[in-house]
Structure 1
Amino acid sequence: MIEDSPELWNRTTVCFAQALLGAISPNFRLVALGKMSGRWQLRFILENESREDREEIEDAGDEFGIPIEDQFELEVIVDAGQIQLPLPDMRLVYQRREP
């Protein structure tokens, strides 16, 4: 369930989007931010497994100003199938244009 003020959500979303600048490769299909039970959740969907993209995801935590694993639940999904939208209780930060 989405909690907290719209200002907190907006600030967190913008900070996260800024942390991802330059990190997103054509392999990234979707990036979403959510909050459940007081803990932020980051969801990444990649088309193919990529060590480089996983490193970029980890580096985004450093750019965000905190280690991802300390404050966020991180979920990386590798799936080339159809993405089911909307994602409940999550905000889209990035979605690749797909046919």
Structure 2
Amino acid sequence: MNADAELKDWNFQVLMLVQSMLGAITPNFRMVVLSRDSEVWVIKFYLQHDVEEDVEEVNDIICQYSAYQDSSLKCKWEILFGDGELPVNSEADRVVYRRKEIFD
């Protein structure tokens, strides 16, 4: 895949994920990261607490995200809970959402 097509693909996936998250993000969401592992798009949701309603929101986000795609989309996601330091992402990853956090 050439660089222009790759960038276009990334931009489309970021846009579709952002559209899918509209109205779904609560203060419990700390960060959402989109990455790619070969041909599989990987979405990581970092939540502060394990709240059932927010887990349901993640499922709704993934459902909406999948609806924006064609049938060849390969996607997996995971939810990570905790209030520790957020990871530093590789340059290949896209942070799609990150809340402001202030630590003393």
TM-score range, shorter chain: 0.7 to 0.9
1:59 match: secondary structure: helix
Q: CA separation in 2, counterparts of 1:13 and 1:66?
A: 12
Structure-2 change in CA distance of 1:51 and 1:66 (3 Å): farther
Q: Which has the larger radius of gyration?
A: 2
**AA at the equivalent of 1:54:** V
Mapped pair 1:50 → 2:51 = yes
* Alignment map for 1:14-93 (pairs within 5 Å): 14-64=15-65, 65=67, 71-85=74-88, 87-88=89-90, 89-93=92-96
The TM-score with structure 2 as length reference comes to 0.83
**AA at the equivalent of 1:50:** V
Give me the identity figure in percent: 31
Q: CA separation in 1, counterparts of 2:62 and 2:87?
A: 26
Q: CA separation in 1, counterparts of 2:59 and 2:87?
A: 25
**AA at the equivalent of 1:39:** V
Mapped pair 1:95 → 2:95 = no
CA RMSD of aligned residues (A): 1.9
Structure 1: 5+ residue runs without aligned partners? Answer: none
Structure 2: 5+ residue runs without aligned partners? Answer: none
Q: CA separation in 2, counterparts of 1:66 and 1:6?
A: 18
The TM-score with structure 1 as length reference comes to 0.87
Aligned residues: 94
**AA at the equivalent of 1:60:** I
